Chains A and B, each alone.
Chain A
Amino acid sequence: MKIAVIDTGILKEEVSGNCVVKHFSLSDEGLVNVYQKPVNNHGTKCFKEISGNTENKNIQIYDLNILKDGENLEVSNIILAIEKAVKERVDIINISLGLKNYSQELYDMCERAVCNNIVIVSAASHTNTISFPADFDNVICVKVDQSQTEKIKVTNTTTVSIAMRDFIVVEGKKKFDFSSSSLACARFCRYLCDEFGDNLLNDKYKILAHKYGIYLYRDSIRENSLKLKENSLQEILQKNRVAVVVFPSSALSQLDAQFLHKSIVAYYDHGKYGFYSVRENRQTKNFDYILVLNTSYNDMEISKAIQEKYKKYKVICIGNYLNVDGNKLLQKYSMYKSSELSVLERPVIAVASLCSGLNKSEVQLSLLKGLKKDGLDIGAISNNPIGLLYGINVFSFPNELIFPNIVYSINRFMYLYEINTDIDAWLINIGGATGQVNSLNTYNFGKLVDAYLSAANIDVIVLCVNPSVDVEFLKLQIGYLYKQGVEKVFLVLSHNDINATTTDYKDGLQTYYVDNKKYMESFEYLRSNIQEKIFMLEDVQNGKLYDDIIESLS
């Protein structure tokens, strides 16, 4: 078994005959096979802790001395040493030192070691703050806890604590504790030498998982838990009486008491400047929470005066705001981690659009009502906070979409939802657009649709389009959806069109309501130039779209 000790060097004189030590030290050419006298005894102490007591008789120590006299510890030298350890095919790397600053290069090098079945153990911060590499999720962090009764206690999936009472020296009535996380790290390294044995073919990570419950980030990152993550917003909605303030106020016209989440008891009437009960429509103060929902993609500024004026209530802002983080309580895709796709069994209906502001939420709500009226249980997802009012799973639109992680995350959530909830179908309102809408927001606005297309086999897409859409462009978009495996595309013609003066807005194009004449002209034009069935918003409300979707699915 090979152990790399990345430290301040091991004093030659302290190496006993039954242990092979190869010394490496820093030079202009990197780490070279040359002994350099240590500048202190830190490395030697760690070495003795590892080699002095192990039951494994075949250990070879790689002394990677990364500290030169008069110089500080450099992250680049730790990286160099791990790289050397990986080249030398060691089994364990002991790093009883660390740095406070995060380094992605160091993380990546640790990841390389993990991929080579090398376990890295590293000492926790001596000051109980943060230390890298110990606090990376691919490294075992080792602490000291002199109060614990267990020899090794696993405190979370990547951290262990060790009792080192043999380092407590008693003089009279006084106790001196000479332990440190550095030595605890070395001791845990010794325990691992014993545990891993000499079988080169063992998967050390499986042993760590089975024996200690230590799960490190590795090639398979799927979480073992099959439960859905708890969401504090959903919890609030479960346990409290909630009043809602909805922006823009026009979104209030969609409020349908019959389908509202049972906790929503009141709404703010912007015209009457007061809260009214949802069911009796009387002025009310009988609620505990105020949810301020910005359902548009424009960042809104929220007044600081709210908390003062409504101090009896807990006020929570959800959505896009300039001066508060309105998305922190929404579900996050990144909370669901996996590195493989699971098979989803329920049919998926998705609502997407060519740009933002094209009535996607109205379409989703209308379809959701239809499905619920028919007695179906629906797994609904949206990026629009208005969905909270109807029990829809609302995810915040990610600031950055990282592929393929986003695909795995979506798939993992949908899989867990399917096995935890008895649903008949999915109804998803995908935020953003199907593609690039202008040169300023080329990524996030189009790519979430791509992520959903990869994460779930979407059976039906309802594509909301704007009246002045270019037919050739639309054909390309539809063709793309079919190419990605969508079985049926329906079009819904929005009454909103792109305001050409906003094509250079970085936060998304603005739309405006077109007159009926233009709307009907556009409808007729699209109907005669596009093969797919196209619906007016009126057809969505009166159930025609719903009927066609059900027919196509059945």
Chain B
Amino acid sequence: MYLSKIINTTKNTYIYDALNNNFALLNSVGDIHDESKYADFLLESGFRDITEPCEFEIRYPYSKEELEKMYGCSIKSVTLALTEQCNLRCKYCGYMPKYMDDNYPLKEMSKDIAFKAIDILMNNSHESEICHIGFYGGEPLLRLNLIKECVAYVKEKYPFRKPAYNITTNAVLLDESVADFLIENDIKMIISFDGPTEQLNKYRVFANGKSSYDIVLKNIQMLYQKSPQYFRESVTYNVVMFNGANKELFEAIDNLWKSNVNMIDLFPTEHFMRVRDKIDKAMQNEEIDIKSYDFAYKSVLKSMKKYYNSFSQPVGNKLILPGGFCIPGVRKNFVTTDGKIIVCEKVDESQEIFEIGDVYSGIDLKKVERLIAYTLKSLEKCKSCWAAKFCKICFKDIININEEFCEKAKKDVEKELGYYLDQVSCDRTLINYVSNISLI
């Protein structure tokens, strides 16, 4: 079978044609595997003959000239790593090897680098619908003064502009005066907090092993009491699902007063796999009813949007770029403490391939082309993959595309596609809901 897949759900069996964006309901898998039945099926359904060899053509859609133009007017975001230092030592944190290495000097961003990064954004974002500055770390509140200087710098130098700010913080240093500053300057907060109970935050600890929960909870409550409205509109939680999706966690998160929540899959670092509680492993893979939890159900329906879009288009296209690659240098720009511009904060910044410029000379087109060339090379095998169009692969994955990655990605697509075909595509209310989801 070429660029196609039999999707078995609890209710039905479908055949999905990735090349033409098409699917058909089958009586059984025999419709495909039995030669005579298959011939009848083709005749009746007009489906593409999936035994005929075919493959996708993989191409990056933007030329050098186009990217150059975008870098002059359409940059959307910079995220500043203000410091590599953190006041917590969360056990699952990817930076733990650095924190445990006494010889590794934890670096801090200078004011000059921060201002230069801001200039790159402000001077090259005039035609962008978003203009966004993120404060990131380590723990960015350790550099509160620099944050204040950045905000003041923008006000003074760009009096007619007001970028959207956000800060990703563990909230340990969130006191009254910090809260006042954040509210006054409309800085949106992403609080790393694994849920409202101590148990859920057991891996979020100080260097001495003491839990951060009590302090953080008290600070978050203070912020809430200061302005419930700000809280509702501007506070998002980053929740690491160290136990996978489970009822206890989902119920607790669903009830929170918040603007949004990002449920983050655990990245199993070597360190964490060594130190994690044994009981956690046993609790994984609990079956949960997503529909019972508003935030989770909304997220599932949002993930259905790409399937809706795909099947709403009249014809399929052989030319594709698999996955969800953004435009390097436009959508996200992670600025390291020493001024390198990395394609995104989620990639492994130690890998040179992800470096696309620096704050002194801006986005380097040659480095972007290097990243794109590497990406296209690593996507070779996607040409013959039925799940390529819906795969979540992005830059952070290109150095790790192995069998295990592909198997998981295909399984995820199979599950989502099955859900779309079974639950969404035939439900008019859900189709209306999904079609009206705006991704901005």
Q: Which residues of A contact B (CB under 8 A)?
A: 245, 247-250, 268, 270-271, 273, 292, 296, 298, 300-306, 309-310, 323, 439-440, 500-507, 510, 512-518
| Bound-state Cα–Cα, A507 to B440, Å | 8
Give 1 or 0 for each of B149-192: 1 = CB within 8 Å of chain A CB.
Answer: 00000111111111110000000000000000000000000000
Q: Are A515 and B160 in contact (CB under 8 A)?
A: no
Q: Are B162 and A301 in contact (CB under 8 A)?
A: yes
A-B pairs with beta carbons under 8 Å apart, 10 shown: A247-B160, A248-B126, A270-B123, A303-B161, A305-B155, A309-B156, A323-B162, A440-B438, A501-B327, A504-B440
Complex contacts, B156 vs chain A, CB 8 Å: 305, 309
Task: Tell me the smallest distance from the CB of A185 to a CB of chain B, in Å.
Answer: 44
Interface residues of B in 388-440 (CB under 8 A from A): 435-440
Q: Are B66 and A306 in contact (CB under 8 A)?
A: no
Q: Are B437 and A504 in contact (CB under 8 A)?
A: yes
Choose the segment among B27-35, B67-75, B84-92, B339-347 that binds chain A (4+ C-beta atoms closer than 8 Å).
B67-75
Q: Are B66 and A513 in contact (CB under 8 A)?
A: yes
Task: Tell me the smallest distance from the CB of B193 to a CB of chain A, in Å.
Answer: 27
Instruction: From A247, A440, A507, A513, give the contact of B69 (CB < 8 A).
Output: A513
Interface residues of B in 54-72 (CB under 8 A from A): 61-66, 69-70
| Bound-state Cα–Cα, A250 to B73, Å | 8
Q: Are A504 and B126 in contact (CB under 8 A)?
A: no
Interface centre among B154, B156, B440 (most CB of A within 10 A): B440
| Bound-state Cα–Cα, A270 to B159, Å | 10
Interface residues of B in 187-231 (CB under 8 A from A): none
| Bound-state Cα–Cα, A516 to B69, Å | 12
User: B309 an interface residue at 8 Å Cβ cutoff?
Assistant: yes
Q: Are A306 and B438 in contact (CB under 8 A)?
A: no
Q: Are A507 and B129 in contact (CB under 8 A)?
A: yes
Task: Tell me the smallest distance from the CB of B329 to a CB of chain A, in Å.
Answer: 13
User: B127 an interface residue at 8 Å Cβ cutoff?
Assistant: yes
User: B383 an interface residue at 8 Å Cβ cutoff?
Assistant: no
User: B305 an interface residue at 8 Å Cβ cutoff?
Assistant: yes
Q: Are B69 and A504 in contact (CB under 8 A)?
A: no
Complex contacts, B129 vs chain A, CB 8 Å: 296, 298, 505, 507, 510
| Bound-state Cα–Cα, A305 to B158, Å | 10
What 4 A-B pairs have minimum CB-CB distances, sorted nearest first? Answer: A506-B438, A248-B126, A515-B65, A298-B129
Task: Tell me the smallest distance from the CB of B389 to a CB of chain A, in Å.
Answer: 13
| Bound-state Cα–Cα, A502 to B435, Å | 14
| Bound-state Cα–Cα, A517 to B62, Å | 12
Interface Cβ pair total, 8 Å cutoff? 86
Q: Are B440 and A303 in contact (CB under 8 A)?
A: no
| Bound-state Cα–Cα, A303 to B61, Å | 36
Contact A517/B440 with A248-B73, A303-B160, A323-B162 known, Cβ cut-off 8 Å:
no
Instruction: Using CB atoms, name the residue of chain A closest to B125.
Output: A248
Complex contacts, B436 vs chain A, CB 8 Å: 439-440
Interface centre among B155, B161, B435 (most CB of A within 10 A): B161
Q: Which residues of B contact A (CB under 8 A)?
A: 61-66, 69-70, 73-74, 123, 126-129, 154-164, 305, 309, 312, 326-327, 435-440
A sample of 17 more A-B contacts (CB under 8 A), given A248-B73, A301-B163, A505-B440, is A248-B127, A268-B160, A270-B126, A292-B160, A298-B129, A300-B162, A302-B162, A310-B159, A440-B436, A501-B326, A504-B437, A512-B62, A512-B69, A513-B66, A513-B69, A515-B63, A517-B63
Task: Tell me the smallest distance from the CB of A266 to a CB of chain B, in Å.
Answer: 14
| Bound-state Cα–Cα, A302 to B154, Å | 12
Instruction: From B127, B159, B163, give the contact of A306 (CB < 8 A).
Output: B159
Complex contacts, A514 vs chain B, CB 8 Å: 66
Majority SS of interface residues in chain A? loop
| Bound-state Cα–Cα, A322 to B113, Å | 29
Complex contacts, A510 vs chain B, CB 8 Å: 129
Complex contacts, A506 vs chain B, CB 8 Å: 438, 440
Complex contacts, A249 vs chain B, CB 8 Å: 126
Complex contacts, B327 vs chain A, CB 8 Å: 501
Q: Are B435 and A439 in contact (CB under 8 A)?
A: yes
| Bound-state Cα–Cα, A524 to B338, Å | 48
Complex contacts, A507 vs chain B, CB 8 Å: 129, 438, 440
Q: Are B160 and A504 in contact (CB under 8 A)?
A: no
Instruction: Using CB atoms, name the residue of chain A closest to B62.
Output: A512
Q: Are A504 and B155 in contact (CB under 8 A)?
A: no
Q: Are A512 and B74 in contact (CB under 8 A)?
A: yes
Q: Are B160 and A301 in contact (CB under 8 A)?
A: no
Instruction: From B64, B66, B128, B159, give the contact of A303 (CB < 8 A).
Output: B159
Instruction: From B73, B158, B159, B438, give the contact of A504 (CB < 8 A).
Output: B438
| Bound-state Cα–Cα, A501 to B159, Å | 31
Complex contacts, A301 vs chain B, CB 8 Å: 162-164
| Bound-state Cα–Cα, A479 to B70, Å | 34
Task: Tell me the smallest distance from the CB of B29 to a CB of chain A, in Å.
Answer: 34
Complex contacts, A296 vs chain B, CB 8 Å: 127, 129
Instruction: Using CB atoms, name the residue of chain B closest to A500.
Output: B61
Complex contacts, B438 vs chain A, CB 8 Å: 440, 504-507
Instruction: Using CB atoms, name the residue of chain A closest to B122.
Output: A270
Complex contacts, B74 vs chain A, CB 8 Å: 512
Q: Are A512 and B66 in contact (CB under 8 A)?
A: yes
Task: Tell me the smallest distance from the CB of B197 to a CB of chain A, in Å.
Answer: 36
Instruction: From B62, B127, B160, give the contact of A302 (CB < 8 A).
Output: B160
Complex contacts, A247 vs chain B, CB 8 Å: 126, 160
Q: Are A518 and B440 in contact (CB under 8 A)?
A: no
| Bound-state Cα–Cα, A306 to B438, Å | 32
| Bound-state Cα–Cα, A310 to B160, Å | 10
Task: Tell me the smallest distance from the CB of A470 to a CB of chain B, in Å.
Answer: 9
Q: Are B127 and A518 in contact (CB under 8 A)?
A: no
Complex contacts, B160 vs chain A, CB 8 Å: 245, 247, 268, 292, 302-303, 306
Task: Tell me the smallest distance from the CB of B130 to a CB of chain A, in Å.
Answer: 8
Q: Are B73 and A515 in contact (CB under 8 A)?
A: no
Instruction: From B66, B70, B126, give the contact of A250 (CB < 8 A).
Output: B126
Complex contacts, B154 vs chain A, CB 8 Å: 303
Instruction: Using CB atoms, name the residue of chain A closest to B439.
Output: A504
Task: Tell me the smallest distance from the CB of B336 to a CB of chain A, in Å.
Answer: 26
Instruction: Using CB atoms, name the residue of chain B closest to A513.
Output: B69
Q: Are B309 and A504 in contact (CB under 8 A)?
A: yes
Task: Tell me the smallest distance from the CB of A272 to a CB of chain B, in Å.
Answer: 12
Task: Tell me the smallest distance from the CB of B129 to a CB of chain A, in Å.
Answer: 4
